[in-house]
Chain A
């Protein structure tokens, strides 16, 4: 009489779920990236497709090959590897040799994620680890920016894309083959990014170019306007914590504004905000939930930290761009921030004492 009814499922409460899943969130971010991908293709032609695709393949293949989860590859389903690949691709220059892009994807997942134990365990943003690896391994290739418009035709490809792995050279037969299929291949004419221009003596790019993306730079970082729009949409969909980009941008604006007031030779706050990878980094990379603080107060600290480091590196460091290192450094500080910036528990003071 008191036996168990065998058909009844015993599952712990709650019995309702919101129905939003982690792959769904990843898909949200991917959709939020889609306009940037399209813009990259518009600005840089077929090269952009190739770079993005190669990065993604590198990332997913590594996830499949190295992840210990059984059945093998089940961790691909959460979509994070694809996202990492796309974001990595968007912060690479369009003319990067494809073998390097592939290697970047491998490093991003291998060094950036799986080494720490997989999704959710990683300390650093995987895409940025991949990017930092490439920057350290192939500093020339990754800082060779090509100006938009050097290739007028969509199908025209950058010759450097086709370098044979481990070299910077394309065999003649391949060159002929490529020209037969895609039309003329072009050698990269390198061009400085707006930030490098201003850092190493030169004129600033016009603002509307910065806004619309008509400058040299990484695939995804050039069109400021698009990033802002996508960022606002994602923030309203609560795909990421709006506090992080907002605090980064405000800090950069404030810090560089103060410097600019005293020294008009330094770039203006607006220029700082719109140029380089700042917007892209603030919206798509600093907001990676795994590697940024979880609590709201922590998010503010994180954002302010990133902003300050960006300004420090850009104005006084040896590099023209500092967003990548700023985010990586604050990633490293995230566990610490999480420790000191826990939410104030209900009925308690901020230090966790029972409130009187």
Chain B
């Protein structure tokens, strides 16, 4: 066994209660097909894709319904066999109305996936490989939904020296990556191997926090002999899943502010992305479904579910038994997730979890005056001064905030989690960032 017992970690950060016991032992189940699917044309960072189908047209599961609208854009596939019911604005989980393709499922279909046969990745050139990743519709599945192929487009003078697979899953409640690593260890390792080979990485590291020993064992067992893939153990800490923190924890190197891991010749991917990538190259199956965790005190039957992308949240909730007392539904993790105003929004490619909180479980933080206790400084993995940021944001002193490196903030929420005075620090920072962006837009 090559497992380290003592995990590595970064400095600062917080230790929220994990709450993972609800679902971490539950095997991944398949979610039945819903009646209707809503596919926002923009489920990723970058340009939205262009619809490639017409209203009324029949589509097969896995068929392309949207073509990329540029390099930083993705192909979109139908998650279901059925008929295009509408193309038009629908509610996005973030509350805004965005152009979507709405597909009505065919209740009598066998739901065969329209696949091309497995791709012979070994013979592909790097550029063709990148094109294929784009065609597979792969985005970062940790939450940010950054188009995966863009990460592989190495700029001049950079190379992928180290491939880093992020299996931290540091957000409380979420266990989907955990289950993926346990149940699809082979595929995850295979995906890692494909990317490492194609990018010519010297080594590949899968970072897993110590609270998932079974995942570490499964991955370790799945790594074929003679490869330079290894599993590294990390202490449990939030926000270790933030890529810069993860790099610091594992390699002790700091990604310069405002730069990308690539500047240190590192490429970081999520384990879920590796699973989908392996699926595509081995079975020709594009990203049309993903694993997510449905949990929280407001859920009667918590589960790790394989859910077709585009499934309405309401259907998922109904499937898992949303109970009456639920007062808040969050898409994503409890630290960085998005509160939902409506359940009639679709599951996206980047959705890692759906959490329901009841009245008692919601932390109503009563706000007191900031006493400059410094807890937020000790929480901030980016070594910023959140207390000062909040103060400046309240005063509208944007320029000083920029000088205090507000742009470096990854909005992990650790400061707000830890603040004894209940100051909504990260919320203020987000508002400030928006105001700064607006000011800049106006100025230019």
A binds B: yes
Instruction: List residues of A whose CB falls within 8 A of some B CB.
Output: 1-5, 7-25, 75, 78, 80, 118-121, 241, 289-290, 294-296, 338, 342-348, 352, 354-356
Task: Give the residues from 16 to 71 in chain B that come closer than 8 angstroms, CB to CB, to chain A.
Answer: 16-17
10 residue pairs A–B, Cβ–Cβ below 8 Å: A3-B344, A14-B414, A14-B417, A16-B363, A17-B365, A17-B416, A294-B377, A346-B248, A346-B257, A354-B258
Asked if A289 and B256 make an inter-chain contact with CB atoms under 8 angstroms apart, the answer reads no
Question: Could you mark each residue 3-14 of chain B with 1 if its beta carbon is under 8 Å from any beta carbon of chain A, else 0?
Answer: 000000000001
Chain A min CB distance to B254 (Å): 5
**Contacting residues, chain B, for A3 (C-beta < 8 A):** 342, 344
Given contacts A347-B259, A348-B256, contact A294 B382 (CB under 8 A): no
Listed from nearest, the 10 A-B pairs whose CB atoms lie closest are A14-B413, A17-B363, A120-B369, A2-B91, A347-B257, A119-B369, A346-B382, A12-B427, A22-B368, A15-B334
Chain A min CB distance to B228 (Å): 27
Asked if B422 and A2 make an inter-chain contact with CB atoms under 8 angstroms apart, the answer reads no
- Whether B370 is near chain A, meaning CB under 8 Å from some CB there, is yes
Given contacts A10-B339, A345-B383, contact A118 B369 (CB under 8 A): yes
Question: Could you mark each residue 185-198 of chain B with 1 if its beta carbon is under 8 Å from any beta carbon of chain A, else 0?
Answer: 00000000000000
Set A121, A346, A352: member contacting B244, Cβ < 8 A: A346
Given contacts A11-B328, A119-B369, contact A346 B417 (CB under 8 A): no
Chain B min CB distance to A82 (Å): 14
Instruction: List residues of B whose CB falls within 8 A of some A CB.
Output: 14, 16-17, 90-91, 97, 172, 244, 248, 254-259, 326-330, 334-345, 355, 357, 362-363, 365-366, 368-374, 377, 381-385, 387-388, 403-405, 408, 413-414, 416-422, 424, 426-427, 430
Asked if A17 and B422 make an inter-chain contact with CB atoms under 8 angstroms apart, the answer reads yes
CA separation between A342 and B385, bound complex, in Å? 7
**Contacting residues, chain B, for A352 (C-beta < 8 A):** 403, 405
Given contacts A15-B334, A295-B377, A343-B383, contact A8 B341 (CB under 8 A): yes
**Contacting residues, chain B, for A296 (C-beta < 8 A):** 377
**A342-B385, A347-B255 given; 18 more Cβ-contact pairs under 8 Å:** A5-B342, A7-B327, A12-B426, A15-B330, A15-B355, A15-B363, A16-B417, A23-B368, A118-B369, A119-B368, A289-B372, A290-B372, A294-B387, A338-B388, A347-B257, A352-B403, A354-B257, A354-B258
CA separation between A75 and B371, bound complex, in Å? 13
CA separation between A78 and B423, bound complex, in Å? 14
Asked if B337 and A15 make an inter-chain contact with CB atoms under 8 angstroms apart, the answer reads yes
CA separation between A125 and B185, bound complex, in Å? 58
The total of Cβ contacts below 8 Å across the A-B interface reads 181
Given contacts A8-B328, A15-B357, contact A22 B341 (CB under 8 A): no
**Contacting residues, chain A, for B355 (C-beta < 8 A):** 15
Set A1, A22, A338: member contacting B421, Cβ < 8 A: A22
CA separation between A342 and B328, bound complex, in Å? 37
CA separation between A232 and B289, bound complex, in Å? 54
CA separation between A290 and B335, bound complex, in Å? 27
**Contacting residues, chain B, for A343 (C-beta < 8 A):** 377, 383-385
CA separation between A136 and B329, bound complex, in Å? 59
Asked if B383 and A346 make an inter-chain contact with CB atoms under 8 angstroms apart, the answer reads yes
Asked if B371 and A290 make an inter-chain contact with CB atoms under 8 angstroms apart, the answer reads yes
Residue of B nearest to A342 (CB): B385
Residue of A nearest to B10 (CB): A346
Chain A min CB distance to B236 (Å): 15
Chain B min CB distance to A192 (Å): 37
Asked if B420 and A4 make an inter-chain contact with CB atoms under 8 angstroms apart, the answer reads no
Chain B min CB distance to A299 (Å): 8
CA separation between A15 and B344, bound complex, in Å? 21
Asked if A119 and B342 make an inter-chain contact with CB atoms under 8 angstroms apart, the answer reads no
Given contacts A14-B413, A16-B17, A17-B365, contact A120 B257 (CB under 8 A): no
**Contacting residues, chain A, for B335 (C-beta < 8 A):** 13-16
Given contacts A5-B343, A8-B328, A22-B371, contact A13 B385 (CB under 8 A): no
Given contacts A2-B90, A12-B426, A346-B382, contact A354 B256 (CB under 8 A): yes
Chain B min CB distance to A306 (Å): 17
**Contacting residues, chain A, for B255 (C-beta < 8 A):** 347
**Contacting residues, chain A, for B385 (C-beta < 8 A):** 294-295, 342-343
Asked if A78 and B328 make an inter-chain contact with CB atoms under 8 angstroms apart, the answer reads no
Given contacts A15-B357, A290-B371, A355-B256, contact A347 B408 (CB under 8 A): yes
Set B256, B383, B384: member contacting A356, Cβ < 8 A: B256
Asked if A24 and B256 make an inter-chain contact with CB atoms under 8 angstroms apart, the answer reads no
**Contacting residues, chain A, for B254 (C-beta < 8 A):** 346-347, 355
Residue of B nearest to A14 (CB): B413
**Contacting residues, chain A, for B330 (C-beta < 8 A):** 13, 15
Chain B min CB distance to A244 (Å): 11
**Contacting residues, chain A, for B365 (C-beta < 8 A):** 17, 21
Asked if B405 and A120 make an inter-chain contact with CB atoms under 8 angstroms apart, the answer reads no
Set A15, A119, A355: member contacting B328, Cβ < 8 A: A15
**Contacting residues, chain B, for A75 (C-beta < 8 A):** 369
**Contacting residues, chain A, for B416 (C-beta < 8 A):** 14, 17
Residue of A nearest to B410 (CB): A346
Chain A min CB distance to B14 (Å): 7
**Contacting residues, chain A, for B405 (C-beta < 8 A):** 345, 348, 352
Residue of B nearest to A355 (CB): B256
